[in-house]
């Protein structure tokens, strides 16, 4: 049984009705299932079994401490992109020795903090960054383990905003220039070359672009080896998609086994950086209908969740399923609604043209909101960020409080007289 399922016309998460969670913690509210997180992570572990590997969960997808802690307890590594994410991993009990640091604008402070924490590897995205890491490491009297993130110029076939492995994208070092950057890295103080990395985009629904990228990267690995640059790992990034609507992404086992085949007998450890495929379907956004507003052209369901809570529909026109929490509303007629928030933007919607039998006061769940949900939220319109709750069996834990206006205002001040 999936973590989110209907029982007696009511949507449950694990053993708890979502209506009870809403009653207890209010709406809008992100609700995560511990079991779903674990199952999703363990699906990767199983796929890798018997091989030298590390699954570095991409913290950006959902950085709630409880989420990180659940994964840390399962032995996960972490892919971070900021000093803040490093702090979160450490606070959640994650092992810094299993942390890889991606991202293309690492500051000196962030590099210093990561070196002091003795992380596993820096994924370097430019020559300028390489020089900066070398200088900071040398100054600290430390050695920075590095991989170059190469840009293999592969079309991931995903939304242009979340494609990262094309020449025109800002990410990574052009694969055709990587050899000379590795040669340069070899000569720099404070640098130890340990691996190679690529990440071509997010929400990929076929294996082919991954394998294209891996083939190109492995060609470079072999050339490097001929030049005496021996790597200990290859990091093939994250990006495996999930089913939001009718996508049929491959199972992690299919992807991992195809990548393992490509590696052949090369003595390389394998790292992956999945985010969405671990967190997305482990969470929903719970929201309540405030008003129904029929107009001549459209029916609007105005809910208490908005683009500031879940930005994906507004930002990428992303489609996420919206379902009623109680389905025994035979008394109510179904209409086609745009499900919109109260924010003063026409782009503020959670879903368009949804057939729903609902009344004011009803609860809705926006599905697949466990990844790139809360982490992309904002205070726009001076709304308070939603609460986050994790369900574990029949237990429900508030893992982040709803923000208050007092909290928001406590961060600000006016100019002195
Ligand atoms: C460098 C890097 N690694 C991992 C990820 C995680 O990707 P996803 O959540 O699609 O698995 C991303 C996001 O696209 C990323 O930029
Ligand atoms: N935030 C994006 C994914 C970006 C992945 C990070 N590189 C989404 O919601 O789909």
**238, 247, 276, 371, best to mutate for ligand 1 pocket (most atoms within 8 Å of CB):** 238
Percent of the chain with pLDDT over 90: 94
> For a pocket test of ligand 1, which of 37, 151, 239 has the largest count of ligand atoms closer than 8 A to its C-beta?
239
Q: pTM score, two decimals?
A: 0.97
Tell whether 239 is in a known binding site.
yes
Which residues are within 8 A (CB) of 347 and not within 5 positions of it... i.e. 6 or more apart? Answer: 307, 314
What pLDDT is attached to residue 154?
A: 86
Q: What is the pLDDT of residue 181?
A: 97
The answer, yes or no, to whether any atom of ligand 1 lies below 6 A from the CB of 276, is yes
- 417 annotated as ligand-binding: no
Domain positions in the chain are 4-32+280-410, 34-278
Task: Write out pLDDT tens, residues 378-393.
Answer: 999 999 999 999 999 9
Residue 401's pLDDT is 98
Please state, in angstroms and rounded to a whole number, the distance separating the CA atoms of residues 366 and 325: 10
Q: Which of 56, 121, 336, 344 is catalytic?
A: 344
pLDDT, tens digit, for every residue of 324-341? 999 988 889 999 999 999
| Per-residue model confidence (pLDDT) at position 169 | 79
* 3-42: pLDDT as tens digits: 999 999 999 999 999 999 999 999 999 999 999 999 999 9
Does the beta carbon of 162 sit less than 6 angstroms from any atom of ligand 2? Answer: yes
Q: Is the CB of 199 under 6 A from ligand 2?
A: no
The whole-number pLDDT of residue 105 equals: 95
- Between the CA of 162 and the centroid of ligand 2 the distance, in Å, is 6
Distance of CA 46 from the midpoint of ligand 2 (Å)? 25
pLDDT number for residue 159 = 65
State if residue 239 touches ligand 1 by the CB under 6 angstroms criterion. yes
Given phi > 0 = left and psi -120 to 50 = alpha, else beta, which region is 102? beta
The dihedral over CA atoms of 202, 129, 82, 61, expressed in degrees to the nearest 10, equals 10
Give the pairing type, strands 269-272 and 191-197: unpaired
Q: Is 323 exposed, middle or buried (0-12, 13-18, 19+ CB in 10 A)?
A: middle
* Nearest bound ligand to the CA of residue 277: 1
Closest ligand (CA of 238): 1
CA of 202 to the centre of ligand 2 (A): 6
Q: How does pLDDT run across 194-235, given as a tens digit for each residue?
A: 999 999 999 999 999 999 999 999 999 999 999 999 999 999
Structure tokens at 186: 């070899």
Comparing CA positions, the residue from 329, 347, 328 lying closest to residue 338 is 347
Indicate the CATH number for domain 34-278. Answer: 3.20.20.10
Active site residue 344: yes
Could you identify the atom of ligand 1 that is nearest to the CA of residue 278?
Answer: 11
pLDDT tens digits along 88-101: 999 999 999 999 99
If phi > 0 it is left, if psi is from -120 to 50 it is alpha, else beta; for residue 222 that is alpha
Q: What is the mean pLDDT of residues 142-146?
A: 98
CA distance 126 to 149: 8
pLDDT at position 337 is 98
Does 312 appear as a known binding residue?
A: yes
Expressed in angstroms and rounded, the spacing between residue 61 Cα and the centre of ligand 1 is 8
| Atom of ligand 2 minimally distant from the CA of 201 | 7
Residue nearest to atom 8 of ligand 2 (CA): 372
CB 116 within 8 A of CB 88: no
Instruction: Identify the CATH homologous superfamily for domain 4-32+280-410.
Output: Lyase, Ornithine Decarboxylase; Chain A, domain 1 (2.40.37.10)
Q: How far apart are CA 195 and CA 2, in angstroms?
A: 37
DSSP secondary structure, 333-368, as one string: --EEEEEE-SSS-TT-EEEEEEEE---TT-EEEESS
Which residue's CA is the closest to the ligand 2 atom numbered 1? 372
Read off the tokens for 47. Answer: 């796929």
**Nearest-angstrom CA–CA distance, 345 and 365:** 22
- Angstrom CA distances, 6 to 15, 33, 66, stand at 11, 15, 25
> DSSP letters of 204-223?
B--SHHHHHHHHHHHHHHHH
Q: Do domains 4-32+280-410 and 34-278 have the same CATH topology?
A: no
Looking at ligand 2, which atom is closest to the CA of residue 60?
Answer: 6
What is the residue with the minimal CA distance to atom 12 of ligand 1?
238
Peptide bond before residue 28 is cis, with ω within 30 degrees of 0: yes
Among 56, 372, 373, name the best residue to mutate to test ligand 2's pocket (greatest count of ligand atoms within 8 A of Cβ). 372
Average pLDDT over residues 256-267: 94
């Amino acid at each position: 049984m999936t973590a989110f399922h209907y029982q007696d016309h009511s949507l449950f998460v694990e053993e708890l009705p979502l209506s009870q969670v809403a009653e207890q913690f209010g709406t809008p509210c992100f609700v995560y299932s511990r079991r779903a997180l674990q199952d999703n992570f363990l699906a990767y572990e199983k796929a890798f079994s018997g091989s030298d590997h590390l699954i570095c969960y991409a913290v950006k997808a959902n950085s709630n401490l409880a989420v990180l802690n659940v994964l840390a307890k399962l032995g996960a590594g972490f892919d971070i992109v900021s000093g803040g994410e490093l702090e979160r991993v450490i606070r959640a009990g994650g092992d810094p020795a299993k942390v890889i640091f991606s991202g293309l604008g690492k500051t000196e402070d962030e590099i210093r903090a990561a070196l002091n924490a003795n992380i596993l590897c820096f994924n370097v995205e430019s020559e300028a960054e390489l020089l900066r890491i070398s200088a900071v490491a040398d100054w600290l009297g430390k050695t920075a383990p590095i991989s170059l993130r190469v840009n293999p110029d592969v079309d991931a076939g995903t939304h242009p905003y979340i494609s990262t492995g094309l020449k025109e994208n800002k990410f990574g070092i052009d694969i055709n220039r990587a050899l000379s950057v590795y040669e340069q890295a070899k000569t720099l103080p404070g640098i130890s070359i340990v691996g190679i990395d690529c990440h071509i985009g997010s929400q990929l629904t076929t294996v082919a672009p991954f394998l294209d990228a891996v083939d190109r990267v492995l060609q470079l690995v072999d050339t490097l080896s001929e030049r005496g640059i021996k790597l200990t790992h290859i990091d093939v990034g994250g990006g495996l998609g999930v089913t939001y609507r009718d996508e049929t992404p491959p199972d992690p086992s299919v992807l991992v086994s195809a990548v393992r085949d490509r590696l052949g007998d090369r003595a390389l450890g394998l790292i992956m950086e999945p985010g969405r495929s671990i967190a997305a379907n482990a969470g929903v956004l719970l929201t309540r209908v405030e008003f129904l507003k029929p107009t001549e052209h459209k029916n609007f369901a105005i809910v208490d969740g908005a683009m500031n809570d879940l930005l994906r529909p507004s930002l990428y026109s992303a489609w996420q399923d919206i379902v009623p929490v109680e389905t025994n509303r035979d008394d109510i007629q179904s209409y086609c609604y745009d499900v919109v928030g109260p924010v003063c933007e026409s782009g503020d919607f959670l879903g368009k043209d949804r057939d729903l039998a609902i009344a004011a006061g009803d609860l809705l769940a926006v599905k697949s909101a466990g990844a790139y949900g809360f982490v992309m939220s904002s205070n726009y319109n001076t709304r308070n960020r939603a609460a986050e709750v994790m369900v574990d069996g029949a237990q429900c834990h508030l893992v982040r409080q709803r923000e208050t206006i007092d909290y928001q205002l406590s961060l600000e001040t006016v100019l002195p007289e």
